Structure 1
Amino acid sequence: MAKQKLYAGAKLRDMRRKLDLSQKEFASKLGVSLPYLNQMENNNRPVSAGVVLGLAQEFGIDVTELSTGETERLVSDMREALADPLFGDAAPPLADLRLAASNAPALTHAFLELHRAYRQTHERLASLDEALGRGGQGPGLASPWEEVRDFFHYCNNYIDAVDRAAERFSTGADTISLRARAEAALDRIGVRLRFDESAGLRHYDAESRTLTLSNRAAPATVAFQLLHQVALLCHTDLIEATLDLARFQTAQARDIARIGMANYFAGAALLPYEQFLAAAQDTRHDLERMSDHFGASIEQVAHRLSTLQRTGAKGIPFFFVRVDQAGTITKRHSATLLQFARYGGACPLWNVHRAFETPGRFLRQLAETPDGVRYLCLARDVSKPGGSFHAPVRRYAIGLGCEVRHAAALVYADDMDPSNARAFEPIGISCRICERPDCHQRSVPPLARRLTIDANRRGILPYEVER
């Protein structure tokens, strides 16, 4: 497969501005001509190997930042938005979307916000009851949940200041002493701890300064909830400063994000960055061994693997997703080129949907997306008991994966044959933007392909997708 050229003009330009250098000064230090730098910054030329080397040697820049970030996320989100019937057959080619995402990311974000506003207004008009039930939320605003989801999505699901603060808090502590450390931190500020089944998973009474946790929760859950409360009460300034930078449109979105930040702190403290990265490498990313070592759940470990994006100490780029039994994505993040649909479910050919059929087992899959990128995918069911006979059991499936070029670093690749092209199953993102012409699980036609409809012929689909 031919190596893809690296067009990263916007990122190169941002790096220069952060260094407070003119184009002439930057070009001189990188050893290239001013016109050549100008062409790279405007994506008229790919970033050369010499420039990549110069960025690393001259400025100590982590050059992997040039090829990672939000460009592919923006392209995926635009393709999904343009699949709206509103646009008909007017969708621009993929090359134009990539140019827009890399050259004009602010404009691309504005387009996505505009489409989201249209979509929500359309849904409100279609359901008057729904519109009246939104409590006066103005038209055109993103729903608070979606706004927070997109904030973490475009931050690459890594919040450096919060991550490092959590790591400092947990340094030198094992799982047992980490819980004791969290209890001590709360005790120092006068918070009393009690356990009671009737209070739900966690309840903090600010007036009496009493934190009540469920006495039926698993040890990993108790530790996580303690750390969550430590974040809210002991790291208020850090969390609020981070929320200020996000500039959420509504107070409700800020409140949801505050919970997300506290959850992030708890996860990062339970699985501190450097220790976790070392354990991942030592165990070849064996989720069960890491779960035992850190006293965390399989889902917590899998999610944490997808956040190892610290500059200068990055782990393998993973995608992570959680789906419910209806196939709806409830959590998603990707540090890879594979991006997930913003709305609805995932590709039915993906092994995450089969995980419900094999409880307690890891499913492995070699998969290839329509852009030709190949992945090693893992899937496993995750059940969350309610704690009593009448309490409902919540069932999810989680998916974790990386590009197949990293397969040797994963224990799950043992005995598989990534060199065999026929071993890879075709998967996509969503039917509207997947261009595979012969998928037997297709639910709707692809946006960018013409259809041939013949009433006298019937194959797998009631139409043929032109190749």
Structure 2
Amino acid sequence: MQKTFIGPHLRRLRQERGETQAQMARTLGISASYVNLLENNERSVSVTILFRLMEAYGVDWREIAEDESASLLPDLRTAVQDPLFTESRPDLPQLRAALVHSPDLAQAFLRLHRAYQQVSDQLTAIAQLDQNAAITSPEAAVHHVFRRNRNHFRDLEQAASGFWGETAPERDEVYGALKVRLKSRMGVSVRLARVEEMPLALRDYDEATREICLSEALDHTNRIFQLTHMCGLLEQGALFDQIIARAGLSEPRSNVRLRVELANYFAAAVLMPYDDFLQVARSTKYDFDHLATRFGVSFEQACHRATTLQRDGAQGVPFFFLRIDKGGNVAKRFNATSFPLAEHGGACPRLDVHTSFRTPGRIVPQFVEMPDRSRFFVFARTVDRPTWARHVQDNRLAVAMGCAIEHVGEIGYAEPFLLSGAPMTPVGINCRICPRTHCDQRAHQALIMPDPGTAMRRGATRYDT
């Protein structure tokens, strides 16, 4: 059984109550020296002490025992890959020690590094006369919220599990059942609208008439998802409010974006129940076409759901998820791994997710190695977006899913390579912060390069001197 350390949580709880270690010791029925050992993570906490904390201080023992390092460690590993730390980069044991003994300091370091990145991006944007790029995007803010929660929201999972009550409708009856539910519970009707009536939207809700309009450009799978999404917004507003308040985002656009992503999470959890989805995922070795067919969702929705399977005691393979357009821009990202995803700009051009546009609808597998020697298996495939006019027929994106190399035996897409072996492709986060000086795919000068270079040499790119 894994040991649980609660030192920083316990210290913070005691200080918030204005108690000394001796006073807390009397309350918990233990010695002051034992409280000191617990606070310094020199002893793991027992179940008995956790329940005494709950009874004496009215706190949820699961929140106290929650291991924040699961999300903080990958973020720290990503931060120290910055070329700024080339000459004095902390190793993995040092990072783990920092999280055990000084988690607040580690979080402060991450906040400082993010602020440094934002300032660097702002300076770059100003130099390029692009003022809009200097604003931290709502997508980046939402990504941090999901990372802090390890891409898993227990409250949303519980709400989704009780959505249908005792009996869920048959899969081919879900659309009708959702329309009946919205009408009977919320007084909301659903209407399918013609493309010319909604030329720039796929879904709209008129609060005055209490009517949801769905564009006929949506296929049946996405109509179901959009109605489930609306059920979340209309029925679970109070729960969303609580999660948004805990997130502490100050920018209104970020809060709106977070609400949308929480509703997406809820809809996915309703349509792909956790235990059922995990069981099928394991039995099919994460065949996402099969998962999409079994649960009546799209390939992209099945991929996204797989990133959320992080419940303690019933975890799936930790994946990262990227959605990229034909220009290389990262349109969506979620991460349950230590793979460092770029906060701004595109992904590494060496990732084969970019080349998947050449083979629409086919899985493109790849083994990659990061600058810190960590290795991942990545597979990509294009997905089609709703279209309703001739000039947007090729409205296509690509999604990439990746996991650490130790999970590769659980992924069916990797089976052809397990016997023959596959070469590792050296990749980075993105060009602006990648330390691979001699990469022939470099598109930008890195923001920080320790070597000034020389005018007497021309490498594979104009940045390699």
Q: Do Structure 1 and Structure 2 share a fold, with TM-score over 0.5?
A: yes
Q: Return closer, same or farther for 1:174/1:321 CA change in 2, 3 Å cut-off.
A: farther
> Any residues of structure 2 matched to 1:345-424 within 5 Å, and which?
345-391=346-392, 393-417=394-418, 420=421, 423-424=423-424
Q: Does residue 259 of structure 1 match 2:256?
A: no
Q: 2: distance between equivalents of 1:331 and 1:118? A: 23
Q: Does residue 268 of structure 1 match 2:262?
A: no
1:269 is paired with a residue whose SS is helix
Alignment-derived partner of residue 195 in structure 1: 192
Query: Is the deviation greater in 229-238 or in 452-461?
Result: 452-461
1:359 to partner: Cα distance: 0.6
Contact 1:182 1:227 in 2 (8 A): yes
Alignment-derived partner of residue 285 in structure 2: 284
> Any residues of structure 2 matched to 1:43-442 within 5 Å, and which?
65=67, 68-77=70-79, 79=81, 93-95=89-91, 99=98, 102=103, 104-112=105-113, 114-115=115-116, 118-119=119-120, 122=123, 130=131, 142-170=136-164, 172-188=168-184, 189-197=186-194, 198-199=197-198, 200-391=201-392, 393-417=394-418, 420=421, 423-442=423-442
The amino acid of 1:187's aligned partner reads K
CA RMSD of aligned residues (A): 4.0
TM-score where L is the length of structure 1: 0.78
Contact 1:364 1:412 in 2 (8 A): yes
2:218 is paired with a residue whose SS is coil
TM-score where L is the length of structure 2: 0.78
Contact 1:78 1:97 in 2 (8 A): no
Alignment-derived partner of residue 44 in structure 1: none
Q: 2: distance between equivalents of 1:57 and 1:369? A: 43
1:398 is paired with a residue whose SS is strand
Q: 2: distance between equivalents of 1:120 and 1:460? A: 26
2:316 is paired with a residue whose SS is coil
1:398-438 CA distances to partner (integer Å, 9 max, x unpaired)?
10011222122111121213784x62222221234433454
Q: Return closer, same or farther for 1:255/1:446 CA change in 2, 3 Å cut-off.
A: closer
1:194 to partner: Cα distance: 1.3
1:367 to partner: Cα distance: 1.7
Contact 2:378 2:401 in 1 (8 A): yes
1:146-192 CA distances to partner (integer Å, 9 max, x unpaired)?
33333223322222212221222146344333333322221112111
Q: Return closer, same or farther for 1:94/1:436 CA change in 2, 3 Å cut-off.
A: farther
> Any residues of structure 2 matched to 1:426-465 within 5 Å, and which?
426-444=426-444, 450-451=450-451, 453-461=453-461
Q: Return closer, same or farther for 1:318/1:149 CA change in 2, 3 Å cut-off.
A: closer
1:253 to partner: Cα distance: 2.5
Unaligned runs of 5+ in 2: 15-19, 51-60
Q: Return closer, same or farther for 1:19/1:282 CA change in 2, 3 Å cut-off.
A: farther
2:382 is paired with a residue whose SS is strand
1:22-54 CA distances to partner (integer Å, 9 max, x unpaired)?
7998xx99xx9999867656xxxxxxxx96xx8
Q: 2: distance between equivalents of 1:453 and 1:113? A: 28
Aligned positions, number: 430
Unaligned runs of 5+ in 1: 1-5, 42-49, 135-139
Query: Is the deviation greater in 324-333 or in 364-373?
Result: 364-373
Q: 1: distance between equivalents of 2:442 and 2:12? A: 46
Query: Is the deviation greater in 260-269 or in 108-117?
Result: 108-117
Contact 1:141 1:249 in 2 (8 A): no
Q: 1: distance between equivalents of 2:233 and 2:35? A: 50
Contact 1:385 1:393 in 2 (8 A): no
